[in-house]
């Protein structure tokens, strides 16, 4: 994931790991993978702690994303749902297409196109 998104190596605190492991992932491992990927993309600190988890785990958007993942029929739909979650999270955190592009290692044009597609539709 580090090479895919040009991110730093993250370290989960013990408390964060306990929280993640105790969460009742209603779907399967893919939900957990998506969640970890979202954390790695959006958290800029080296240590991922419970303060980073609480907003995502209690967020109704995260719950909806998890429910939507279960209803996906095709690989392309699944990939699109993951892309949408990443773009929305990055845009919420960074607030501009240029900052999203830099954080995710995208061109400015591609970041803007994806933000328009997923955040303003």
Listing DSSP states for 12-55 in one string gives: E-HHHHHHHHHS--SS-HHHHHHHHHHHHHH--SSEE-HHHHHH
Confidence tier at 108 by pLDDT (50, 70, 90): very high
Give the residue among 64, 13, 5 at the shortest CA–CA distance from 37.
Answer: 5
pTM value?
0.46
CA–CA distance, 110 with 9 (Å, rounded to integer): 25
pLDDT for res 110: 94
Encoded tokens for 43: 């958290």
């Amino acid at each position: 994931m580090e090479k895919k998104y040009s991110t730093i190596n993250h370290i989960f605190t013990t408390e964060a790991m306990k929280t993640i492991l105790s969460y009742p992932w209603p779907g399967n491992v893919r939900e957990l993978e998506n969640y970890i990927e979202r954390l790695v993309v959006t958290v800029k600190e080296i240590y991922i702690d419970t303060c980073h988890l609480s907003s995502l785990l209690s967020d109704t958007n995260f719950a909806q994303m998890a429910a939507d993942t279960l209803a996906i029929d095709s690989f392309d739909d699944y990939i699109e749902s993951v892309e949408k979650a990443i773009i929305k999270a990055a845009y919420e955190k960074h607030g501009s297409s240029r900052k999203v592009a830099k954080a995710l290692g995208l061109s400015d044009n591609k970041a803007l196109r994806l933000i328009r597609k997923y955040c303003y539709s």
